């Protein structure tokens, strides 16, 4: 359930299964700037070593601050998933290790929470997330540029949240509501460190990447480059995906808070994941961007 993002992994719909098992827990984004004081928000730590994931068996439910520590000797991709009702943690763990062939079944068993990718040896990362209650799986794998294949080593832990404890919401600077298929968010954002609240109010999984466009490039240029690789324009991409902004794919109904910093300028935000409803209907899916989930924002001093 983990991975990293590069350009080939955000080419749209024709990409299906290979593209987006990584995007479930990808985007080398969400690298926090400085944790705001929030003593009223309960917290716990997940630690990854070379051979195990350590997490409390029971954690506070509701809104919590999660710290991810990489105590291993290699960069790791680490993600969380909610086990959906009627499924088991054993099923989720098995599917997460199954490569692209397990992608569609995994969507029916797990709802994705934030991931941190990669986490360097000795480093730690954090985010806020509304766990509510339930059973959760931690998945950690060695960071690779691309999609971990079936059989790649994954380390896992399982924990539960049985009681709502965290009821204090972090004070967000920017609120982003992700729906099918649009972003409800400000057109203008302040530069510098900002705490972003992401709410998936849609019926599908959603993500947000942030793109710095080349001079003269627009939405159509990005869409053309991210579409069918056989039809993509020649030459370098007309944009740069910011490595420290946005949110990886999260499931319907999930909420998370991440802190990152944008410099002044014009940016494109978009959701390149495929239309799951079309997949389950046996149709060739369009990406959410092709459905219109793309937007220009301005970051000001």
Task: Identify the helix (H) or strand (E) that includes residue 177.
Answer: strand 174-179
Collapsing DSSP to helix, strand or coil, 10 comes out as helix
Tell whether 148 and 197 lie within a shared domain: no
pLDDT at 239 over 70: yes
In the chain, what percentage of residues exceed pLDDT 70? 83
In the chain, what percentage of residues exceed pLDDT 90? 64
The residue out of 117, 149, 166 marking a domain boundary is: 166
Tell whether 273 and 136 lie within a shared domain: no
Tell whether 124 and 185 lie within a shared domain: no
Q: What are phi and psi of 215, to 5 degrees?
A: -55, 130
Answer yes or no: is 28 within a domain: yes
Split into its structural domains, the chain has a count of 2
Per-residue confidence (pLDDT) for residue 176, from 0 to 100: 98
Tell whether 150 and 236 lie within a shared domain: no
Minimum mean pLDDT among 106-120, 163-177, 232-246, 287-301: which range? 232-246
Per-residue confidence (pLDDT) for residue 150, from 0 to 100: 58
Residues ≥6 apart with Cβ < 8 Å to 90? none
- Greatest distance between any 2 Cα atoms in the chain: 54
The residue out of 166, 192, 217 marking a domain boundary is: 166
Answer yes or no: is 1 within a domain: no
- Measured CA to CA, the distance from residue 116 to residue 149 in angstroms comes to 19
- Measured CA to CA, the distance from residue 118 to residue 244 in angstroms comes to 11
Answer yes or no: is 269 within a domain: yes
Antiparallel, parallel or unpaired: β 239-241 and 53-54: unpaired
Answer yes or no: is 111 within a domain: yes
Residue 163 confidence class, pLDDT cut points 50, 70, 90? very high
The residue out of 166, 197, 232 marking a domain boundary is: 166
Q: What is the pLDDT of residues 180-236, one digit of tens each?
A: 999 999 999 999 999 999 999 999 999 999 999 998 888 888 888 877 667 778 888
Tokens 């479930």, residue located: 24
Q: How many CA atoms lie within 13 A of 164 on its CB side?
A: 6
Structure tokens at 32: 């926090």
Task: Identify the helix (H) or strand (E) that includes residue 44.
Answer: strand 43-48
Structure tokens at 169: 């919401």
Domain that holds residue 128: 7-166
Structure tokens at 110: 């797990």
- Measured CA to CA, the distance from residue 48 to residue 204 in angstroms comes to 30
Residue 36 confidence class, pLDDT cut points 50, 70, 90? very low
Burial class (CB in 10 A: 0-12, 13-18, 19+), 105: middle
Q: How many CA atoms lie within 13 A of 117 on its CB side?
A: 34
Antiparallel, parallel or unpaired: β 206-213 and 239-241: antiparallel
Per-residue confidence (pLDDT) for residue 207, from 0 to 100: 94
CATH number, residue 248:
2.60.40.420
Q: What is the pLDDT of residues 59-107, one digit of tens each?
A: 999 999 999 999 999 999 999 999 999 999 999 999 988 777 787 899 8
State pTM to two decimals. Answer: 0.87
Task: Identify the helix (H) or strand (E) that includes residue 260.
Answer: strand 255-262
Tell whether 54 and 133 lie within a shared domain: yes
Tell me the sheet residues that pair with 257. Answer: 128, 197
Tell me the sheet residues that pair with 134. Answer: 161
Tell whether 34 and 56 lie within a shared domain: yes
Tell me the sheet residues that pair with 270. Answer: 209, 294
CATH number, residue 160:
2.60.40
Answer yes or no: is 229 within a domain: yes
**Helices assigned H by DSSP within the chain:** 16-24, 89-96, 103-107, 219-226, 276-280
Q: How many residues does the chain have?
A: 301
Per-residue confidence (pLDDT) for residue 243, from 0 to 100: 82
Tell whether 283 and 198 lie within a shared domain: yes
């Amino acid at each position: 359930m983990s991975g990293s993002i590069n350009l080939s992994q955000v080419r749209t719909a024709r990409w299906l299964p290979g593209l987006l098992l990584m995007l479930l827990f990808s985007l080398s984004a969400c690298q926090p700037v400085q944790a705001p004081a929030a003593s009223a928000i309960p917290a716990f730590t997940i630690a990854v070593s070379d051979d195990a994931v350590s997490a409390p068996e029971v954690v506070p439910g509701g809104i919590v601050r999660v710290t991810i520590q990489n105590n291993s000797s290699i960069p790791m991709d680490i993600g969380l998933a909610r086990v959906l009702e009627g499924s088991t943690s054993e099923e989720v763990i098995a599917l997460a290790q199954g490569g692209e062939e397990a992608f569609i079944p995994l969507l029916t068993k797990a709802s994705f929470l934030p991931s941190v990718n990669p986490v360097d040896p000795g480093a730690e990362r954090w985010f806020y997330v509304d766990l509510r209650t339930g059973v959760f799986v931690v998945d950690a794998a060695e960071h690779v540029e691309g999609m971990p294949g079936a059989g790649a080593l994954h380390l896992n832990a399982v924990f539960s949240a049985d009681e709502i404890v965290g009821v204090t919401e972090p004070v967000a600077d920017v609120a982003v509501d992700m729906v099918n298929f649009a972003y409800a968010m400000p057109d203008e954002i302040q530069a510098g460190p900002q705490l972003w609240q992401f709410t998936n109010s849609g019926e599908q999984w959603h993500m947000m990447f942030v793109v710095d466009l080349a001079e003269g490039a627009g939405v159509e240029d990005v869409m053309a480059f991210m579409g069918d690789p056989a039809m993509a324009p020649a030459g370098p991409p007309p944009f740069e995906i910011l490595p420290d902004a946005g949110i990886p794919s999260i499931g319907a109904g999930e909420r998370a808070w991440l802190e990152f910093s944008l410099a002044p300028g014009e940016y494109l935000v978009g959701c390149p994941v495929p239309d799951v409803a079309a997949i389950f209907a046996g149709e060739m899916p369009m990406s959410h961007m092709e459905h219109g989930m793309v937007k220009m924002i301005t970051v000001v001093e």
